[in-house]
Structure 1
Amino acid sequence: MDPAGLEQRLTSQDQRLDELAQLVQGLLQRISTPAAPHAVPERYDGSPGMCNSFLMQCTLYITHNPSQFRLETDKVHFVISLLTGRAKEWATALWTVNSAILQSESRFLSQFKAVFDHSPTGKEIHHCAYSDAP
């Protein structure tokens, strides 16, 4: 091969490498930093004062791990898997009769809150905090 043809091929390959490097750089800039990992929520035993914080932790975990929860039932099963004590007994009773509540996240959470959420509302907390004030 003549030296002029070889030099032309090398120049062409250099240009292609530069284009590929720019393409890779552009792709790297597009990739977003992965979200910070969220811990699996602590288990819940049915304690009334802990219901909202348990459900908040579950919601955060589910929201930040959407690929693990493609179906409504995946979300319900995840929450059930974290239950112990009275809460587990309640869910087991629903499971035993194959309750339709287990098919819908919103229905399950609504029923769950009706049974276990007896925490004070924001208004009640405010009243308790300031009722002893002079």
Structure 2
Amino acid sequence: MDPAHNPDPLACLDQVETQLQHQEAMLASTTTNIQLAAANREPALATLSTQVQQITATLTQSLSLPAPPSRSPPPAPAYPGPVLEARVGVLECYAGDPEGCNPFITNCSILFALQPYTFATEEARVAFMINNLTGHARLWGTAEWERHTPACSSFSAVTTELHKVFGIASRGPDASRGLRQGSCSVTDYAIDFRIQARRSKWNQAAQVDAFLLGLADNIMVSYDLPASLDEIIALASHVSNFARQHIEEGL
């Protein structure tokens, strides 16, 4: 065997050792680079870890809080229910006769008091009164309403005008002086007399004289007269009732 073609074992070992040293140096360099990279990333990882912990704490706190109370819808506004008013009969229409003027106005006033919601405004009251006029009074009321006169401004105004146009006062202050009992009873005569007398400006003595003047001749012929009109009317009614009863018993 040619020794020139046989490698030297020592030389081979040196070569292997050199290669190992080179690889070891490369490994050490790589390890150093890895350590440096890890060292550079530690602050970022620490910051990231802190943020993750904060988020976790926030989520935990949110889950542990009680749920806010549900907002109930606002209550519906309370509206007053329908008002039950007193029911009254049909009002009798007024045709314009003087004796019926004051009763008509009184009936309207009572109706308005019993049904304050239906007749809450002055216009509603005036319209109702004019709508319940008939005959000659209806013609007057229609003309006043269409012309929007002051008489239609309020209940008080229309009643005042009704009294002026159709009331007993429209006959003049001496209307009761011509009143006579005639064939009617003392009670009916006294009612008519009181209605007309209260419109006049007579004093007590004048009213007594007017009442006695219109009283039937067969009443109170032999009686001493009381001083007041009320007492005279009471006595006349008593005498009239006694006389009528006596006549009925005789029949």
Q: TM-score range by the shorter chain?
A: 0.5 to 0.7
Deviation at 1:56, TM superposition (A): 1.1
CA shift digits 1:46-95 (9 cap, x unpaired): 01111111111111111101110111111111111110011101111112
5+ long unaligned stretches in structure 1: 1-33
With the length of structure 2 as denominator, give the TM-score of the two structures.
Answer: 0.36
Deviation at 1:35, TM superposition (A): 7.6
Q: Percent identity?
A: 28
Q: Give the structure 1 partner of residue 153 of structure 2.
A: 103
Q: Give the structure 1 partner of residue 78 of structure 2.
A: none
Deviation at 1:36, TM superposition (A): 5.7
Which of 98, 101, 122 is the equivalent residue of 1:48? Answer: 98
Which of 101, 116, 124 is the equivalent residue of 1:66? Answer: 116
Bigger CA radius of gyration: 2
Q: Give the structure 2 partner of residue 83 of structure 1.
A: 133
Residues 1:120 and 2:196 aligned together? yes
User: C-alpha distance in 1, partners of 2:86/2:211?
Assistant: 35
Which of 37, 46, 58 is the equivalent residue of 2:87? Answer: 37
With the length of structure 1 as denominator, give the TM-score of the two structures.
Answer: 0.64
Letter in 2 for 1:121: A
| Structure with more contact order per residue of length (Cα contacts < 8 Å, sep ≥ 6) | 1
Q: CA RMSD in A?
A: 2.4
- Which structure dedicates a bigger proportion of its chain to helix? 1
Using the TM superposition, name which of 112-121 and 85-94 deviates more. Answer: 112-121
